[in-house]
């Protein structure tokens, strides 16, 4: 029997060199917030689209987050570029919103990408 070597992932993650912090709040019982730092494993890109129609112009902001390897991301997680501070109270979480914090985004969709049956990266957007 001929043994075929497993192919390497044909993707380059050279641009996944950013650090991001992912926050997840838990409201079951007492409040807690989990903070996970992905150090030099992420690519975070922001996009602004402006559309003009007869009633005026509208702006829409979106983002794409790519984390190489397997990352535990869920909708409603919050992502901040760099290493962020700890969120300890429910009140701090309530104030931790994109309009109060530059660069902060909230994940709406998560899409793991597979190659040869294994997760090679996870994409999140919002």
Where are the chain's structural domains?
A: 18-125
Average pLDDT rounded to a whole number, residues 104-118:
93
Chain segment 12-67, per-residue pLDDT in tens: 899 999 999 999 999 988 999 999 999 999 999 999 878 888 888 787 889 999 99
Cβ count within 10 A of residue 83: 11
Cβ pair 32, 89 in contact under 8 A: no
Cβ pair 78, 107 in contact under 8 A: yes
Average pLDDT rounded to a whole number, residues 74-99:
96
Q: How far is the C-alpha of 107 from the C-alpha of 22, rounded, in Å?
A: 10
Note the pLDDT of residue 56. Answer: 80
Q: How far is the C-alpha of 87 from the C-alpha of 79, rounded, in Å?
A: 13
Cβ pair 94, 124 in contact under 8 A: no
Q: Is the pLDDT of residue 7 over 90?
A: no
**Residue 93 DSSP code:** H
| Total-model pTM | 0.85
Find the Cα–Cα–Cα–Cα dihedral 33, 38, 42, 44, rounded to 10°: 30
């Amino acid at each position: 029997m001929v043994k075929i070597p497993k192919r390497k992932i044909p993707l380059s993650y050279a641009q996944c060199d950013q650090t991001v912090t992912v926050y997840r709040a838990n409201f079951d019982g007492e409040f807690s917030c989990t903070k996970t730092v992905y150090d030099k494993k992420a690519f975070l890109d922001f996009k602004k689209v402006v559309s003009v129609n007869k009633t005026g112009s509208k702006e829409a902001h979106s983002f794409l987050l790519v984390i190489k390897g397997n990352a535990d991301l869920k909708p409603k997680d919050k992502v901040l570029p760099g290493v962020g501070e700890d969120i300890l109270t429910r009140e701090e979480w309530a104030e931790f919103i994109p309009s109060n914090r530059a660069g902060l985004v909230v994940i709406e969709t998560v899409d793991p990408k597979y190659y040869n049956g294994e997760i090679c990266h996870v994409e999140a957007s919002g």
